């Protein structure tokens, strides 16, 4: 994976890119570090907009990688201030985007290592399994935790999502320290090439 270019931002699903290519989709709660991960993976400072305030990404953003596949940055869920509306919006998005899109190769479900999986994490996980969409969970921002807390966090995720196994479909990541970025990069290239 070398070249990344921004393709488009869309708000509604009839604007999906005309050129169909495999999609690697980043999903997860707001502020978990999805956009930052894209920048870290491609060593670009700010191709994906990030923010310390939750709710930065409000549209579905398509990036084209080596003219071969898309990386798709989804808006985060669980932004507390608009929780109810947000949930309804997210459910609609999930239903439409995941159910009507046949090009998804794999979803990278980002979970904040500092918190237990939320209701919306569980909802997303249920959807992906129901629709038979391949996914992995990325337990993110582990640089913020002590080793003993990382162990606890991993345990909590495995309790909630027992189908996961470390190094296979579960990764511990820090975009700040670069932990796991290369494993996840290999996973992506193995998926789309």
Binding site for Mg ion (CB under 5 A): 34-35, 56-57
Region 140-159 residues binding ligand GTP, contact defined as CB under 6 A = 140-141, 143-144
Of the candidate residues 60, 174, 184, 188, the single one contacting ligand GTP (CB under 6 A)? 174
Binding ligand GTP (rule: CB under 6 A), the pick from 1, 17, 47, 55 is 55
In 3D space, the residue among 16, 23, 17, 73 whose CA is nearest the CA of residue 48 turns out to be: 73
Does residue 109 interact with ligand GTP by CB under 6 A? no
User: What's the sign of the alpha-carbon dihedral 5, 10, 13, 17?
Assistant: negative
Question: Shortest Cβ distance from residue 113 to ligand GTP (Å)?
Answer: 9
Q: Measured between alpha carbons, how far is 92 from 137 in angstroms, rounded to an integer?
A: 22
Q: How far is CA 193 from CA 22, 68, 184, 186, in A?
A: 10, 8, 14, 10
How many binding residues for ligand GTP (CB under 6 A)?
Answer: 23
38, 32 Cβ separation under 8 angstroms = no
> Residues interacting with ligand GTP, by CB under 6 A?
30-36, 50-52, 54-57, 75-76, 140-141, 143-144, 174-176
């Amino acid at each position: 994976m070398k070249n990344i270019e921004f393709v488009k931002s869309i708000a509604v699903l009839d604007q999906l890119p005309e050129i169909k290519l495999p999609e690697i989709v980043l999903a997860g709660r707001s502020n978990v570090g999805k956009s930052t991960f894209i920048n870290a993976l491609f060593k670009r400072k700010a191709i994906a907009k990030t923010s310390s305030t939750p709710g930065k990404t409000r549209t579905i953003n398509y990036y084209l990688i080596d003219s071969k596949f898309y990386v798709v940055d989804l808006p985060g869920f669980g932004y507390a201030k608009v929780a109810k509306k947000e949930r309804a919006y997210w459910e609609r998005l999930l239903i439409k985007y995941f159910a009507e899109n046949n090009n998804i190769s794999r979803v990278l479900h980002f979970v904040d290592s500092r918190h237990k999986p939320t209701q919306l994490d569980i909802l997303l996980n249920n959807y992906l399994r129901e629709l038979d969409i391949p996914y992995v969970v990325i337990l993110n921002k582990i640089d913020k935790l002590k080793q003993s807390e990382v162990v606890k966090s991993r345990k909590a995720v495995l309790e909630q999502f027992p189908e996961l196994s470390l190094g296979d479909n579960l990764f511990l990541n820090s975009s700040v320290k670069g932990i796991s970025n290369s494993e996840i990069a290999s996973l992506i290239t193995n998926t789309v090439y």
